[in-house]
Structure 1
Amino acid sequence: MKRIITGLLVLCCCSLLGIVKAQAQVTLTGTIMDKDNKLVLPYASILNKSTGRRTYSDKGGFYKITASPKDVVVFSFLGFRSDSVVVSQSSGTETRNISLTVEAKQLRSVEIGTHYTPYQVDSLSRREQFGYILDKRDMPLAGGSTPVGAGIVFSPFTRYSRSEKQKREFKKVFARAEEERYIDSRYTPQFVSRVTSLKGDSLMLFMRQNYPDYNTMRVMQQEDLIYWITDKYRAWKKK
């Protein structure tokens, strides 16, 4: 009898702990935006450092992640400085709107070791940071060709179709951002200024109006880039 009572007490305690734990769950939600331009940031990374759970914002910059009190949640977006919050509520829904600041475009001015350029070091760092999405294999999307069982509308792909589309869109955004980072690593204000002697607003205007494309920059040697900038500058002056 004593063993039975002890077992029941243990069972009750476990149940109570489970209830308390369930009640301690918090839904952290809100929007993520660019602090300077007030634009929403889609496909931003949201990581609960305390649990390892990760998700990302939708096209409207909206996010939602499960957490517990005192959990640390980190928000990251390509080209922006990461930010973090500590969950303060004990239960229910906690709304935290996040504003991220753009990182400076200037790359490290020193070479890291002998094998990588500053651009390559930064690129490897970004690849590691967002590898959790980039390494995921693309899965079939819900559509007309999705198999459906007799009398069953639900497909194993339908449930995950939205997140799959978001993942694919993020990969495209990441690829475009990497191309821009490569261009910016070579087509710098300092370099263009040395070639054209332009300064200040005139320099920025010239660079915006004569921004090279990625494929051109990939095949162009540094000497050819100088000639390219010079030709563009001469044509720009005539205008």
Structure 2
Amino acid sequence: MKVFLRIIALGCIFSMAFAPRAQAQVTVTGMISDSNNLVLPYATVSNLNSGKRSLSDQGGYYKISASRNDRLVVTFVGYKPDTLIVSQSSGTQTVNIVMEAAGKFLKGVEVTSQYTPYQIDSIDRRNQYGYILDNPNKPLAGGSTPEGAGIVFSPITRFSKKEKQKRQFKENYEKMEKEKFIDSRFTPVLVSRVTGLKGDSLQLFMRDNYPDYNTMRTINNNDLLYWITDKYKAWQPKK
């Protein structure tokens, strides 16, 4: 029995001696913006070595865990990807990212009359954030969970924060897509051509008469011109 226990002890020592050691982690953080100092919310930061991904918040700040020499790639729709190599082995490494605007069209997408710039950008956004959008919503803590069911230690409770963040991102994404579509039709160039407005007056008119998504989805191009004209006639006395 003593020999058996000694063998086990030696085996444990051997395993501990030759087992790969976990690499120290460093928190990489900073702000993501473009050359015009415009912060970029919901930019994707991917750790190519670990497979982890993180999104920048609405202030453009990101945070992701990594190990020394890990390669991080930052992507955002309409901008060229940026890459950084983690140089620290522990603690916090702060790296601010300034992204460069890219071309309008996607590689691998045939540019024909069937695609509008909005549609191509929308495809790009969908490809970038598909790993979040395709992730189904999971139950949150509380709600239909029975009382006394161990909510404090429930895995649902543990991941509720991330689940809420995911749901909020989906809501923001849907809202953003609608606004992008509206902006693709209700453009300053078109409105200026119809109304003759320019500069601050043009911006004020467009702000006061920003159309809803359903209108822009259902109205054709000719009717849109009449719609802008009617809004301008009604807006002039209030100016």
TM over 0.5: yes
Contact 1:148 1:154 in 2 (8 A): no
Alignment CA distance shift 1:217-1:107 (3 Å): farther
Cα offsets for 1:61-120 (capped at 9, x unmatched): 66432222222223345677754432111x11223253566969x966xx8224322211
How far is 1:32 from its partner?
A: 3.5
The answer as to 2:236 corresponding to 1:234 is no
Amino acid at match of 1:52: G
Distance across 2 between alignment mates of 1:187 and 1:93:
48
How far is 1:146 from its partner?
A: 2.4
Distance across 2 between alignment mates of 1:197 and 1:206:
11
Amino acid at match of 2:144: S
Alignment CA distance shift 1:84-1:76 (3 Å): same
Superposition pairs of residues 7-22 of structure 1, within 5 angstroms: 14-15=18-19, 18-19=20-21, 22=22
Alignment CA distance shift 1:82-1:200 (3 Å): farther
Q: Specify the alignment match of 1:201 in structure 2.
A: 200
The answer as to 2:112 corresponding to 1:113 is yes
Q: Specify the alignment match of 1:126 in structure 2.
A: 125
Distance across 1 between alignment mates of 2:56 and 2:75:
10
Q: With structure 1 as the length reference, what TM-score do the two structures score?
A: 0.76
How far is 1:181 from its partner?
A: 0.8
Superposition pairs of residues 1-150 of structure 1, within 5 angstroms: 14-15=18-19, 18-19=20-21, 22-23=22-23, 25-32=24-31, 41=41, 43-57=42-56, 63-76=62-75, 83-89=82-88, 91-96=89-94, 98=96, 112-147=111-146
How far is 1:207 from its partner?
A: 1.7
How far is 1:234 from its partner?
A: 1.9
Distance across 2 between alignment mates of 1:47 and 1:97:
14
Q: Which stretches in structure 1 are left out of the alignment for 5+ residues?
A: 1-6
Q: Specify the alignment match of 2:6 in structure 1.
A: none
Q: What secondary structure sits across from 2:171 in the alignment?
A: helix
Q: What secondary structure sits across from 1:130 in the alignment?
A: helix
Contact 1:48 1:54 in 2 (8 A): yes
Distance across 2 between alignment mates of 1:103 and 1:209:
30
Distance across 1 between alignment mates of 2:56 and 2:128:
16
RMSD (Å), alpha carbons? 3.4
Q: Which stretches in structure 2 are left out of the alignment for 5+ residues?
A: 1-10
Superposition pairs of residues 184-195 of structure 1, within 5 angstroms: 184-195=183-194
Amino acid at match of 1:206: F
Alignment CA distance shift 1:96-1:84 (3 Å): farther
Q: What secondary structure sits across from 1:74 in the alignment?
A: strand
Contact 1:82 1:100 in 2 (8 A): no
How many residue pairs get matched?
A: 222
How far is 1:40 from its partner?
A: 8.5
